[in-house]
Amino acid sequence: MLSPDSLLARIGAPEDLKKLSDKELDQLADEMRGELIGVVGRRAAHFASNLGVVELCLALHLTFDFTEDRLIWDTGHQIYPHKLITGRAEELHTIRTKGGLMGYPNPAESPFDLFMTGHAGCAPSTALGLKLGDEIMGRPDRHSVAVIGDGALPSGIVFEAFNHAGGSQSKLLVILNDNKMSICPPVGGIANALDRARMSTTYNDWNKRVRSVLPTIPLVGETADRWLQQFKDAVKASLHHGMLFEELGFTYLGPIDGHDLKSVRSYLEKVKAMEGPILLHVLTNKGHGFEPAVKDPVKFHAPAPFMKAEDGIVPLKISTSQTYTDAVSAALFDVCRDDSRVVVLTAAMCEGNKLQKLRTSFPKQFFDVGICESHAVALAAGMAKAGARPVVDIYSTFLQRAYDQIFQEVALQNLPVVFCLDRAGLVGADRPTHHGSYDIASLRIFPNMVVMAPGDQRDVGPMLDFALGHTSPVAIRYPRANLHAVEREVQPIELGQAEIIDWETDGMIVACGAQLGACLQAAERLHKRYGLQVGVINARFIKPLDSRTICKAIEEAAFVLTVEEGCLPGGFGSAVLEAANDAGLPTAHVRRLGLPDRFILHAERDEQLAEVGLDVDGVTHAALELARAVGLDFTDLGPEPDPTTARQNGVAPAPAGRG
């Protein structure tokens, strides 16, 4: 909780900032960083990026009135300082917890959050849209500001917005928050250009010196400013930085020190009076004010909880569990070692996808294209056409940004590109923008596409081997979850072949993906507690579906329950119903369990699974409800799990009977 004596406790809204002196504003910045350190001491949260934008955030709110003006934070994980000064400081300790503040902008929390942003590069477009919309609606005096990072800058949509703004000469302020990082260091030609801009110390040092002595030379007023600007333009041209933006029609200013609050405010006041699109290049340090985060901004992008100590930090929670991401990363390392044709592409997610060892060991087989998912997929298509075996390793939620390239460049050409879809399903505190809810529904519709989901740890390596040996595109989806292994005699991976774990006739549960373990536990509970004999199938393939095995289950079992960690509309269960319909089978005794047709808010992953009925209790309850609906007789041998109303939201309506 905030100390009642702190300056931060006195800030109920941005207008309160204007009551503080320069010295008090510096103190407030320190208090804000202390509060951010305290939050991460309690739970995993985005950290280093938030420490880096404290002064920029204060300067923006001191300069503009965002009750009228517009502000979009691109991606949005650096939103914490903004939340602290827009009336949410007392609630910051609840961030990223169920029912608490969201770790990204959330319009439901505050009118100062205009969009629920979570994917990089969109802010210039939405900010330009807000500006043009305000003009259409008779509000031309409102300012519109987009803050984007240097990691997001190379995104194609950024330059689409720049092209429009520069051509129309609309009044738009884009602030380039340049901290030399996204989650990992940025890559590519634009990153190199920004490096040259940062390294032009001659220009920056000269700029500071001239401004300090300007009052002493016999050039005053507009003459001095004009002379200074002309000289700066000449130096800028000789050093090249900023010219790219100038050629696009933007006025480029900077780079400036983003931790010099007075200087940032001065520049913002100037750009308020300027016309046309402006790009203000602000240099910040990711982790500023906390030395461990400055030294290792990758580790401290979203660290596990820690306690601050005199000589650094003391981790409070160290996880030794292996995840599906670990398993895929290890399998990719092995295939790259054994086959030089295999290449791995990622979109600024080397750290998240745990590809550091692969990048170091096989640099010629690793490609980080930055936050440019469309380019990654089209690039992979070209590689595949040339005979390489590309693997595109991207979070499920981010692969959506390359949907057209999956269609046009990969599926339509029937090229052997492998997609590893990390974070498929629910992702916990990272909330709706990051859930991998839609990949099944979006990918299974494409001709030539094979879609797979490992049921457990033992499926991962064989599925990757199968995918790399296949002659068509293959997608493998897996969750943000700890690995588990089902004890069984593992059956080999064959195209379109499900794995029958146990066959029974009271009911069959068809598990699509890592819910296999929960389904087996539910089947065991149904037998021990209720005397029901329920079998389990590990679907493995979403497309092509094992229609023969699944239709046999529909014909022979009293009920069939499909379970998937993906959206119900168009998902795996829908594929099962389509197969049954094609075979002319009745399906009143078939029920689908998956993610409901709504956005799931932030919480712990286990809480989210329980909310939508995808935990053991939820699967058990859905099977019991279905067993009752089809008229099965069974004895309740113990207390039934206590399903909540919320769990029903992830279950398709129960049938009236078996038809």
Quote the crossing angle between the two packed helices 616-629 and 516-530, to the nearest 10°.
Answer: 60
CA nearest 427: which of 338, 302, 343, 339? 302
Residue 254 · residue 242 · CB < 8 Å: yes
Residues in CB range of 494: below 8 A, 6 or more apart = none
- For residues 514 and 463, the answer to whether their CB atoms sit within 8 Å is no
Query: CA 386 to CA 313: how far, in whole Å?
Result: 49
Alpha-carbon span 444 to 441, nearest angstrom = 6
Burial class (CB in 10 A: 0-12, 13-18, 19+), 99: exposed
Candidates 585, 216, 157, 563; CA nearest to 375 is 157
The letter for the amino acid at 632 is: L
CA distances from 219 to 151, 223, 235, 266, 634 (A): 41, 6, 20, 21, 96
List C-alpha distances in Å: 91 to 39, 101, 486, 573: 11, 7, 42, 40
Name 656's Cβ contacts closer than 8 Å, sequence gap at least 6: 588, 629
User: 100 — alpha (psi -120 to 50), left (phi > 0) or beta?
Assistant: beta
Give the other-Cβ count within 10 Å of 139's Cβ.
12
630 neighbors 658 (Cβ within 8 angstroms): yes
Whole-angstrom Cα distance, residue 299 to residue 297? Answer: 6
3-state secondary structure of 146: strand
- Cβ distance 425 to 488 under 8 Å? no
Helix-helix angle 54-63:261-272, to 10 degrees: 40
Question: Whole-angstrom Cα distance, residue 167 to residue 286?
Answer: 33
Helix, strand or coil, per DSSP, at residue 455: coil
Q: Catalytic site residues?
A: 286, 373, 401
Q: Describe the crossing of helices 572-582 and 547-556 by its angle, rounded to 10 degrees.
A: 80
**Residue 186, CB-side half-sphere exposure with 13 Å CA sphere:** 24
Q: Give 644's strand partners.
A: none
Residue with tokens 């040092």: 205
Beta carbons within 10 angstroms of residue 125's beta carbon: 18
8 A C-beta contact, residue 347 and residue 154: no
Q: Is the dihedral of CA 447, 450, 455, 456 positive or negative?
A: negative
- Tokens standing for 564? 């998937």
Residue in the structure block whose two tokens are 């390294």: 199
- Give the number of other CB atoms < 10 A from CB of residue 68: 11
